[in-house]
Every structure is written in C-alpha cells, then in structure tokens.
C-alpha cells in the first residue's frame, strides 16, 4: 500500500473516532476524563460504541467484561443491556475496579435499571474457571496482555452456542507492554485455528477480533 493510501486510511480512522466521540453522552465524556486523569487509559470511542451495538443486536443478557480499568467499555456494555440482564466486570486493577464499582453503585439506584451488576478485583485466570458453563452471551477482553489467553481458554466452556468473545487492542498499540503485539499475533493464530469458533478481525479502535462459538 502506498503512502497516499495510508494517509487516507488514517483520515478515515480519525473521522470515525471523532464521530463516535461526538455521540458520547456527557456522562461518558466525564467518566473518560476522570479515568484518564486517574492514570487509566480508555479504549477508543468507536470501539465502545460497537460493543454497545453488538450487545444490543445480539440480545445479550449475560456478559463478562475482562479489562484493566475499562470503564468506558463497561458503561457502553451496560447501556447495551437496556436495564436488564447481568454484567460481570473482572479487573486486576484496584483503581479500575473501584471506578467500575462506583459506576455500578450510581446506576443501581435508578428505578429503571434492573441489570445485575458484579465487579470482581482478580485475574481472569483465577476467576473465570469458577463460573457456570454455557451461560454467557458475550465476553469482552481488554487491558494487560495476561488477560487475553486465560479468557480464550475459558471461552468455549463459558459461552452459549452462538455466543461471542471480543478481544480489543489486537494491534497492541494501546499498551505499554512491548510484548503485547507478539502475544496478539499468537492469540490471532490460536483463535483462527480453533474449529469451535468463527472469527473476523476488524480495525475498529486499535483492532478488534470477534469470534463466535459454533
């Protein structure tokens, strides 16, 4: 691909991200600012918007969000549930899980919200094997490199048939971990070679791998 093409693609990404940012509510914008000021970088607005859309169109009622301070993604997933269902946030970051718990506490007080919310401060390798098999519609994974492989190891067991697992930052550009790009390449190969899943890689945000359980 020549340089003008790369430039045009960058402009397309910038436009999509700017448009998604404009559509964010004031609540989301404030939450993003607060999280980033607390030293918790957030994923792209377009990525979070797509997670909301997938949650809604999948008619998901049970979600696991594995992240590292992924407050905006969590908020958009909750929005996609439209006041019903359940969401479990798994986060090994103490600061991140505190912000997510504060958000859960705020929306739990609203009369029209019937979503069951749970926030757990631990690693996915420790927590996910404890969950009931075949009961989840969607798993979203982001954050530190160590979140990814353990989540995929449990995905086929935890997801319903037709359920999805979504890995964000597949291009590894939003991480300070220099090993993440190589880890994401390995993960991509593992998912593509797993006959239990169908998958697609999309450049939304910093790269999203979406896999559906057959």
70-125 residue pLDDT tens = 999 999 999 999 999 999 999 989 999 999 999 999 998 776 788 999 999 999 99
The domain ranges of the chain are 3-213
Tokens of 199: 């998958």
Q: pTM here?
A: 0.94
Taking only the tens place, the pLDDT of each residue in 37-75 is 999 999 999 999 999 999 999 999 999 999 999 999 999
Calculate the alpha carbon distances from 14 to 48, 49, 100, 176, 206 in Å: 15, 15, 28, 22, 12
Rounded Cα gap, residues 14 and 9, in angstroms:
9
- Average pLDDT value for the chain: 94
Q: 């890689």: which residue's tokens?
A: 201
Q: Which CATH class is domain 3-213?
A: alpha beta
Rounded Cα gap, residues 214 and 172, in angstroms:
27
């Amino acid at each position: 691909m020549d340089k003008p093409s790369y430039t045009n693609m960058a402009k397309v990404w910038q436009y999509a991200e700017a448009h998604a940012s404009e559509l964010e509510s004031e609540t989301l914008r404030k939450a993003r600012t607060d999280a980033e000021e607390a030293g918790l970088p957030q994923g792209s607005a377009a990525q979070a918007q797509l997670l909301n859309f997938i949650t809604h169109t999948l008619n998901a009622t049970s979600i696991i969000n594995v992240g590292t301070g992924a407050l905006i993604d969590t908020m958009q997933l909750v929005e996609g549930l439209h006041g019903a269902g359940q969401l479990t946030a798994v986060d090994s970051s103490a600061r991140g899980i505190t912000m997510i718990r504060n958000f859960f506490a705020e929306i739990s007080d609203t009369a029209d919200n019937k979503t069951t919310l749970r926030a757990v401060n631990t690693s996915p390798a420790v927590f996910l094997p404890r969950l009931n098999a075949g009961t989840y519609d969607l798993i979203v994974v982001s954050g530190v490199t160590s979140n990814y492989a353990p989540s995929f190891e449990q995905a086929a067991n935890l997801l319903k048939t037709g359920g999805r697992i979504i890995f964000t930052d597949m291009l590894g550009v939003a991480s300070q971990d220099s090993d993440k790009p190589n880890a994401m390449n390995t993960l991509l190969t593992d998912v593509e070679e797993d006959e239990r899943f169908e998958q697609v890689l999309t450049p939304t945000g910093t790269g999203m791998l979406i896999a559906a359980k057959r």
